[in-house]
Amino acid sequence: MDPSSTGTMQRIQSEKSILDEPDSPLESAIQYRRKSTVTENSPKGTVVATVTASDAEQGSNSKITYSITNKVDDVRKVFNINKENGEVTLIGNTDFEDSRGFQLSLRASDVGGLTDSCKLIVDVLDLNDNKPEINIMSKSTVISEDAKLNTVVTMINVEDRDTGERGNVQCSVSDSVPFILKSSTNHFYTLVTDSDLDRERASEYNITVTCSDDGVPSLSSSVTLTLQISDVNDNAPVFERSSYEAYIVENNTPGLSIFTVKASDADWNQNARVSYILEDSSVNGVPVSSYVSVSADSGVIHAVRSLDYEQIKDFHFRVKAQDGGSPPLSSNVTVKIMIRDQNDNPPQVLYPVQTGGSLVAEMVPRSADVGYLVTKVVAVDVDSGQNAWLSYKLQKATDRALFEVGLQNGEIRTIRQVTDKDAVKQRLTVIVEDNGQPSRSEREREREREQPKVKVTLKMSLNQPSRGVNMIRIIW
């Protein structure tokens, strides 16, 4: 057999004389070996090698045919030899990872029945045709947010069936995650925590592990691990405001909702469940709980009693927000309740002082000039603001042309000269009214029969004083 191309088998011929007899040339040939190579995944029809044999015979006896004599099917399913020209070709797939080489037994036969044989060793050349295989050996799906650094989350094994540099693998994790991969032993990696975890910042991570080989071009595989971060009660409730102020109008109905305090907790589930508690304190020596209450679930603050501005104008207390963790965490806030005045108090007349049904007398000289100050009605209102602004009005008078009342100051003055024709007795009724809405006056008090009405009665009587000055007597 002679080589006709690279990878063909050499001819080895005996030294016996060549005669035109069937038993001459092939019978004297000896066996030999030859190597060839083929790249894995080569297409069908690829020529692997060509073998040739020569026969010293002449005529029809020199016709040679070629065959594969392997008994194993894996060879016959992969290779074929052209019986006429000895060309060995692929008829199946070659995969380096399945079989790195084949040994073909080849036979050359002439018509006379003489044969020769040889071995063809075909080495399969590796290509970078396998991605790294990532195997999850163990993994956690949940990790506590207070896990220490280097806590193991997952163990993986990575294999690449290719050889050489093509089988060398490098692994990494996705950016911006608090985890790193550490190589523990050959082909084994551990995924561990690399920084502190905070469920309130990120409650779940999708961690992508990518493994790439050193082949050209490089092949890679990836797997995504989903990791839940479990909650730890590490956040206290936080109120929406640093302090609260609220207003309530006096004379409220007991049980009235004043306003709501609100706190939130960044933790989860039971650790984030907030309850509200009224902290113990006192207002003017009285427990604050007798003034207000706080709903444990909603934080709604209710008035326990009817409040009176004239008794208390404002008060402070503290509300605690506590979560349901173990141990519980809490925070508190100061609440200031300011009571708004209601026009619920009528004016109080301080002068003239009336006791029972007695009248108070004032004297006016008949010689009094225009603008003479007869007297002054003095009143106060315990309400505040405009509810305490008082005005004085002359409601009734025997002679409206003789007296007037100052609207703001309550001064009663003459508006003309007193004459002998004026009645000796004069009666005046002065109304004291505040500026609230609705206003409260002395006459309203009389209607309600809570307090007596103040009536200024002026009785003018001509008398003869010791000095001979005529006087008008004014009686309240």
Q: Is 65 helix (H, G, I), strand (E, B) or coil?
A: strand
pLDDT higher than 80, residue 76: yes
DSSP state string for 434-475 = E-SSS--BHHHHHHHTSSPPP--------B--TT---EEEEE
What distance in Å separates the CA atoms of residue 346 and residue 429, rounded to the nearest whole number?
17
Q: Rounded to two decimals, what is the model's pTM? A: 0.64
Region 46-62: mean pLDDT is 83
pLDDT higher than 70, residue 464: no
Task: Give the pLDDT confidence of 216-261 residue by residue, as tens digits.
Answer: 999 999 999 999 999 999 999 999 999 999 999 999 999 999 999 9
pLDDT higher than 90, residue 142: yes
Task: Give the pLDDT confidence of 296-343 residue by residue, as tens digits.
Answer: 999 999 999 999 999 999 999 999 999 999 999 999 999 999 999 998
DSSP 172: E
Q: Given this model, what pLDDT does residue 468 score?
A: 35
Amino acid present at 10: Q
Task: Give the pLDDT confidence of 400-441 residue by residue, as tens digits.
Answer: 899 999 999 999 999 998 888 888 888 888 899 988 877 666
DSSP state string for 235-279 = ---EESSSEEEEEEESSPPTT-EEEE--EE-SS-GGGG-EEEEEP
Residue whose pair of structure tokens reads 């007899």 in the numeric block: 21
Helices (H), 349-466: 442-448
Strands 348-351 and 378-380 come out as antiparallel
Task: Give burial (CB, 10 Å; 0-12/13-18/19+) of 17.
Answer: exposed
Say which residues have a Cβ less than 8 Å from residue 175's Cβ, sequence separation at least 6: none
Region 118-138: mean pLDDT is 93
Q: Given this model, what pLDDT does residue 467 score?
A: 38
Q: Given this model, what pLDDT does residue 29 score?
A: 39
Instruction: Check if the beta carbon of residue 210 is closer than 8 Å to that of residue 171.
Output: yes
Q: Is 429 helix (H, G, I), strand (E, B) or coil?
A: strand
pLDDT higher than 50, residue 23: no
pLDDT above 70 covers what percent of the chain? 83
What distance in Å separates the CA atoms of residue 134 and residue 225, rounded to the nearest whole number?
12
Q: Given this model, what pLDDT does residue 266 score?
A: 96
Q: Which of the residue ranges 28-42, 50-64, 141-155 would you say has the lowest mean pLDDT?
A: 28-42
pLDDT higher than 60, residue 150: yes
Band (pLDDT 50/70/90 cuts) for residue 39 is very high
Mean of the per-residue pLDDT values of the chain:
84
The 10 Å Cβ neighbour count of residue 88 is: 24
pLDDT higher than 70, residue 386: yes
Instruction: Check if the beta carbon of residue 229 is closer than 8 Å to that of residue 322.
Output: no
DSSP state string for 73-128 = HHHHTTEEE-TTT-EEEE-S---TTT-SEEEEEEEEEETTS-EEEEEEEEEEEP-S
Terminus-to-terminus CA distance in the chain, angstroms? 157
Band (pLDDT 50/70/90 cuts) for residue 358 is low
Q: Given this model, what pLDDT does residue 32 score?
A: 54
Strands 330-340 and 243-249 come out as parallel
Q: Given this model, what pLDDT does residue 112 score?
A: 80
Q: Given this model, what pLDDT does residue 474 score?
A: 54
Q: Given this model, what pLDDT does residue 4 score?
A: 35
Q: Given this model, what pLDDT does residue 201 score?
A: 93
Q: Given this model, what pLDDT does residue 72 score?
A: 79
pLDDT above 90 covers what percent of the chain? 61
Instruction: Check if the beta carbon of residue 22 is closer than 8 Å to that of residue 57.
Output: yes
What are the b/e assignments for 354-388, b being 16+ CB within 10 Å?
Answer: beeeeeeebbbeeebeeebebbebbbebebbeebb
